[in-house]
Chains A and B, each alone.
Chain A
Amino acid sequence: MSSETKQILTTDGIPLEVSLKKAEKKNKIKAFLLVAPLLLFLFITYVFPIGEMFTRSVDDKMITNMLPKTFKAMEKWDGKELPPEDVFAGFYSDYKVLIENQTQGKLGQRLNKEKNGFNSITKKLMRQIKRNKIDESQSIKEQIMKVHKRWRDVEYWQAIKRTAPPYTMAKYLKGMDMYFAADGSIAQVDEDRRIHRILWLRTLEIALFVTIFCFLMGYPIAHLLATLPMKYSNLLMICVLLPFWTSLLVRTASWMILLQQQGVVNDFFVMIGLVADDSRPEMMYNKVGTYVAMTQILLPFMVLPLYSVMKTISPSLMRAGKSLGGTPFIAFWKVYFPLTIPGIGAGCLLVFILAIGYYITPALVGGASGTLISNQIAYHMKTTLDWSFASAMGLMLLSGVLVIYWIYNKLVGVDNIKLG
């Protein structure tokens, strides 16, 4: 039958189907071209640089490029006993090149990170070479071993071998307080030096509690705003929106004033007799300050999604619940609350995502016990200049955030985010 039906043609004589497909394709390209400038801009300036953070975080080419002959010779060495003559010879000629280029210091520092004690023995070897004490016609192995007893220790040669691959996961392990032990297995650092694990846990803990506080405080007022008549709720809405639009630093500054020892909150506590004047509690530069300030700063991000969901719930549903015999509490719990769950999900995920990457407020009011993982990243970017470690920690944080973002996208959909 299909062979008998005549194709419908447009006035140009082209089959309608083809013509429609063409138009559809044209529209697709048109729509894509509108998005293309921003997409391209973001890819070049933002998405690729984040990808580059990954290469930077695993990059370990420096030593690989510094000791090419050594590593070539080490390929045949099994790593159990002292390496053979050609490894020593390779190391000697590599090291001589480094001395000529005056970059031997970097090698010493880098190897010292792998195993303590390298700095002094490489320097000692350098002095011997500079004084031409090494006779190239004799066995180089014997001569290097005479420079210092550590050169006779196989563990130091194993350490050099470990630095051979151009890529390393060491920075990621360091971010979790682990490291590659001498035999190449993964080990934990000593208990009293596990600082990063504390920071990760603290970041999670603070983000979680700030989210809970924001929910507990945001739910009642969102409900009030959604049920009050328009003219009152618009007025009260200003209380939520004004902090939302005010500079983050201004809000942090006001908390610093309020929470300091001679500050308003402490004055108030003394006035109502809660604490004695000479034992004012420390509320800033610790976790209390971080909790209070972050809760106030992130609260609008909880209230706004909750409000926009609650606004759509008809009040007659609650009345119906009550008229069917429910007490107000049961009506609320069985009817109203389940309807607000999308808003709760949106608000909590948004606050949690923002809290987990917080930087400014913890740095100013957090003190030592209130700093978070972001502060550690900034510290390595600016102070220690260990950019590859900062990148590794950043990507670990990012992967966590992206998982939550993915859940958020599944539950709420990014195109459903509402602002103001």
Chain B
Amino acid sequence: MPTFKLDGKTIPFEAGDSIIRAAEKAGVEIPHYCYHAGLSSPANCRMCLVEILPAANQRAMMLDIVEWDEKLGDYKAVRKPKLQPSCQFMATEGQEVLAETSTHVIEARAGVQEFLLLNHPVDCPICDQAGECKLQDYWLEHQKTPKRMHDEPVHKPKAVSFGDTIVYDAERCVMCTRCIRFMDEVAKDPVLDMRERGNLKEVIVAPGRKLEGHYTLMTEHVCPVGALTSKDFRFKARVWFLKTAKTVCQGCATGCNAHFDYDPRSNKALRYRPRDNEAVNKYWMCDEGMLSYRDVTSNRVPGALVGGKPVKLDRALEDAKKRFGSVQKSSIAFVLSAKHSLEDNLALFELAELCASRALYVTGAPDGYSDDILIHADKNSNTAGVKNLAPEAKSFADLLADASAGKVTHVIALGGAAPTEEVTALGRLEGLVTIAAHEGPITGAAHVVLPAAAWIESSGTFVNAKGMRQLAEKGTEPLGASEPGWKLVGKLAVAIGVEPSWTTLKDVRSMLVATSVPPPEPPSAEASAE
């Protein structure tokens, strides 16, 4: 691999990498606002300027400038090297680049930073970006001088609604155009643009349009400052109070890698942020996915239910025992869920094995909207995982047909979701127990519902449409009386008179390795959390 030198450190690069990209890959950060690995480089923020030393037997490009001399009390002529934006300058073999070690670069960074903050309102106390703002970080890192301009800064529109999801503050904007480029290049909907020039510049929505579509929240995420804020997260929390769990979005089969931010003090879910993974979602997530953090609380099974009435878990298990205790174990049908983790499904699959039952079915949410950017039509996060676990499992339609034909009388199901709302055939069953995190057609028809933990409340493995096995960390504590699905399957097994072969998550995980599911592939190993 060809290499170049950055501050004396050897940095490898691939053909076509800019200096900043190669440095980023090598773990060296060159400060930047407008550069984003997933977008084009306009080089308009000038924060990533570096000094590129001339090759042997070449002269450096020098600029004649004047500099204020304190002793002389006058300007004097000096020469300085022409600095280059590292986001646009391609890395070449043997090149020598100076960043931290060049006084010219250090001076330029402080200058750019001061310039960007010239008209900044410094309303950090009421800005949602505070704590994760590049302006704050770089001021501390590269400027550290108080403001020299004491005139009233230029005022521009604040709290401009760009649509249903985004609010824009022109005063905080550094005009990096990341949001504009994102809408142009990734979302393919060039609805944002700029108007005016210089310090009057502002980002606008095309006349007659508003910022809409499936990728509007990403504009907020790419914004390096607090100019764009999400209406959903606006004023909800200060980011330094939040904890983050590395998880996988449950919205569809793409399985976008995400950071799940929650307040550990109140156990409250607050937002999703995309987690970079070149192999899955690159740097992006869709709006539906970003807002699906709300599923932690919305539409949840509040506690154990018997006949739709809330009861204690023990009471629900007793009821299940009554219904299933005298039934021949091998006649019980098991319904796996593509919306639950591999661990939960494996536990149920194992229970089916222990019962010597071959009647396996799969349920999941119905298909929905899809596009060719990220959104997959399959709205289940683990379809591939369940398919790999139980390739012979029959569809939900088969379950309905078998139930109405009387072939299946007792069912133990995972999840409340079903591909269809029409589940009257389940009413003919003599016993239907479901272990579900969210309500759905199956929980509506079930005799006994056991409250399972949602994806973020217990660590779980999910296999996306590409067949990549990804681990999701535990974030918030389980809501109410809910418990991890695999644990509930174990309790249910004991209730119906079967000794489960697992007691801990470790047991389930070791069984997971033993099953036919392939081990994580190299790209997904990067994706899965440590």
Q: Do A and B come from one complex?
A: no
Binding site for B on A (CB under 8 A): none
Binding site for A on B (CB under 8 A): none
